[in-house]
Chains A and B, each alone.
Chain A
């Protein structure tokens, strides 16, 4: 594997090996000295052309725990403001000595372009509503830690599927690892074309609520138009939110995941968000571990394997 750009088409062996390595890095980040010298001398550039808190920090934390150096780019304070192109920006950072780039961009395919231009290993840190592969890895790790394996699990992804790169990555990772996935959303928040997706769909959360081992809640993405396709926030919450009442009707061992940032009172009630069966903070910690695994595999090992 030269770059990690998408979850679609990534085979089970590769996923298992990344998750197995992530288990070892999970142990590392819980040590008194949470740092190993694996990537000493390597430089990881985080090129985030779209706002991010957790993903950017998580990659930087992962790189530093592997003893890599980091170059950090944020659009607000950069020469993009002066009109420098994406291509010139990444080539400039490459010329400073980046060995790997993590790219987040509002446009689908941006990470592929950066990989072409630079020839470097690239990790897609989220491109528009398209892919977010490390999110799918950390979600898979969280499920695997809790259930032992994803084989045979029934997972619901609830909410703004249409605008969600998380859903587009999770669907492939979860099903490749043996889970069954059901997408649950109002019709206006489902993708218009679901052909080729290995999923079932439902538009009625209450009808199927008690069937699942895990409920994956998505944020309503106002910035991608997600708030304009249903009448009101209150109605969304009433039909698709994980309210305290709905939470009490789940199977007793069902867990709730969310990619963050959570908007309490819309897709998740505060009581659910703070319940031990809500794994949001475990997901965040696991994000560091899986990103360490990804950086380690992309920067370690000979390129011509």
Chain B
């Protein structure tokens, strides 16, 4: 397993993304940061805190669970559902969707469907820590921590301190995955 981003790298990337979000939206008015469960949740909280700190205006964050929106529920082991908690009415809001890794795009597709069921956001933008390529849908990120060329047989792991006890991004090849379940 090879480290590709340290905790410091991740912190710097999130701070840069925060500035890019502010630049693109000319501030943080009507902005809600929504993380995709599981690791998108704490990442969204951090991004919202950075936006609040930089702009001095409160930016709310929430979390969306996509278990009910997958297109492959009968092809996977049992899907664990978690709470979806978005604090405000999303009608007319600018949503910054946050996830750890952008890969096939199917998770984002599901999250967009979940958001659409909550209301009609004015704009939805996407921020990810790592974009590893191999898209299967016409989806792209607006804000990227690191573009990471990978082969599909490799595995990218993002860890966040709130869940995993440490921050960082690792990549592992098909040969060193024995410790994976």
Contact = CB atoms under 8 A, between A and B. Distances in A.
A21 B113 CA distance: 19
B74 A36 contact: no
A301 B84 contact: no
Nearest to A21: B81
Interface residues of A, number: 22
A39 B79 CA distance: 13
A275 B176 CA distance: 63
Interface string A24-65: 100110011101111100000000000000000000000000
B76 interface: yes
B78 interface: yes
Contact of B73 (A21, A32, A300): A300
Contact of A301 (B68, B78, B82, B119): B78
A297 B81 CA distance: 10
A52 B69 CA distance: 31
B60 to A, nearest CB: 18
Tell me the interface secondary structure of chain A in the complex.
loop
Contact of A31 (B65, B82, B83, B118): B118
Interface string B98-139: 000000000000000100011100000000000000000000
Nearest to A300: B73
Given A24-B81, A24-B83, A301 B118 contact: no
A302 B75 contact: yes
Among A23, A28, A36, A300, the one with the most B-chain Cβ atoms within 10 Å of its Cβ is: A300
B56 interface: no
Contacts of A305: 77-78
A50 B67 CA distance: 35
Given A37-B69, A301-B74, A301-B76, A24 B117 contact: no
Nearest to B74: A300
B68 A28 contact: yes
A301 B77 contact: yes
Contacts of A300: 73-74, 76, 78-79
Interface of A: 20-21, 23-24, 27-28, 31-33, 35-39, 66, 296-297, 299-302, 305
Interface of B: 65, 67-70, 73-79, 81-84, 113, 117-119
13 contacts: A20-B81, A23-B83, A24-B84, A31-B118, A35-B117, A36-B68, A37-B68, A296-B68, A296-B79, A296-B81, A301-B73, A301-B76, A302-B77
In the complex, the 7 A-B pairs of residues with the closest C-beta atoms, listed nearest first? A301-B78, A300-B73, A36-B68, A38-B68, A24-B81, A21-B81, A305-B77
